[in-house]
Chains A and B, each alone.
Chain A
């Protein structure tokens, strides 16, 4: 356990100068939450760069590269700090905020009860991490092998690399306590959400919003990339929303970086980046260029996987033929989607809330979530797998990935509506 806790602490410390380089006025909550998210992103690039440069991973080589990375970010921050005191927003916390710790505490109990047990952990995410650890870098032979397509060689590597970093700190592979990383991702996301909610509503309502989000941030699919993806997608969309509503430069930078890291986490993160880009193009096309850091962050893995010709199962073969065949089964596919929806009561409550809020103000979030859902549904119409199996095994997880941004937007607007109606 100590190795994973030290890894989490190290990633957080690594992330602090990176956050300050992007946003010197970051509040303590924002700084702490983003530090872990940026730290896992930084270690992803460190391990990727060492692999590309054929430098074998070791605790020493990774530490030196990480210190260089953090040090580069720290220099301009120190220079600016010297010039004057930064303005840090005052933090108003409420006793209700403690309630937001219940879900992460419950996840900590669940995720650490045994070595990670999920099929997708030991057949995809954990498998790749373990193979790469043995190879001292990305094992391209393994990814390119025709026998290993089950491990989804095209999937981005941020989560396996986080496992590898913990293994390097621990001196060898162990899947016993890796579940703690998912508690850290959830807590990081909640700190960011609390910081942003406080900018829009009262401390009590912000605490209640974050309490609701705390349950949406904790994924019971421990060991899969879902927990990390919820954090990166959620925080990224929150920041872009904030940037659009308040013309906040720092929020633009955070939003773009976090969405780029979502694209480094899972293919759905890449789809979310596309969904956000389309939504921004509709809401305010001139702001689209501000997403460029997201594209830059996502690009290296896309180039590497294209160079190594790593296949993506959903888009293999003829999409048009499969779509034509499935179009006649549309009714059955939609019935399966409804039957396998993650937490239908929550979606019903969100739809009720949507009817009561000024939807135009939340156009960006609604459009981004809608396009993402359309991407997901489109994938089921072209999947080479049996759609019933594919939907049953993925749709509950996919709908969980995008519910947090929607819940946040609806709850903030409901809080506004309640406050407005309170006024005489």
Chain B
């Protein structure tokens, strides 16, 4: 009886450890799935990533960039916009205009050498580049 139970428990652990989602993955068509995963991070604001790539091409390391998007609400898109900009613009200093305590930080707008404005008001300054729904303004 104990031997049968031990075997059953051993087998149960082996079977329960299998991840059925991962197991199915090699049988999916990669070409069909790849775009879904490529868009996953930016699924809410698809052209935003392309805009940030453009901003990167038109700025250099060490420059200071503030990010302006359609919302300053941290939980409704600003956190994503700020974090995503930090990733794509690594090497530059990216400054947020709002924080998770829902405070607005106009002082960062004053400090920034550039404003990357995507689908938002165009701040005063010289337009350095525009594309993918946004403009890069030198202040």
Contact = CB atoms under 8 A, between A and B. Distances in A.
A375 interface: no
B87 A122 contact: yes
Contacts of A421: 2-3, 6
A291 to B, nearest CB: 29
Given A105-B26, A109-B25, A148-B86, A131 B91 contact: yes
A350 B25 CA distance: 26
Contacts of A17: none
Interface string B1-45: 011011111101111111101110110001001100110110000
Given A150-B83, A151-B86, A109 B9 contact: no
Given A106-B25, A115-B38, A346 B90 contact: no
Closest 4 CB pairs of A and B: A134-B91, A114-B37, A421-B3, A349-B12
Contact of A109 (B8, B30, B99): B30
Contacts of A147: 94-96, 99
Interface string A95-122: 0000000110111011001110111001
Contacts of A356: 2, 5-6, 9
A77 to B, nearest CB: 37
18 contacts: A115-B38, A117-B37, A122-B41, A130-B90, A134-B61, A147-B96, A215-B22, A216-B17, A349-B9, A349-B12, A349-B16, A356-B5, A356-B6, A407-B17, A411-B13, A414-B6, A417-B2, A417-B3
Interface residues of B, number: 41
B26 A353 contact: no
Contacts of A11: none
Interface string B96-113: 100100000000000000
Contacts of B94: 147
Given A117-B40, A131-B91, A352-B9, A106 B23 contact: yes
Scoring A117, A213, A218 by chain B CB atoms within 10 A of each residue's CB, the highest score goes to A117
Given A134-B90, A211-B14, A220 B19 contact: yes
Interface of B: 2-3, 5-10, 12-19, 21-23, 25-26, 30, 33-34, 37-38, 40-41, 61, 79, 83-84, 86-87, 90-91, 93-96, 99
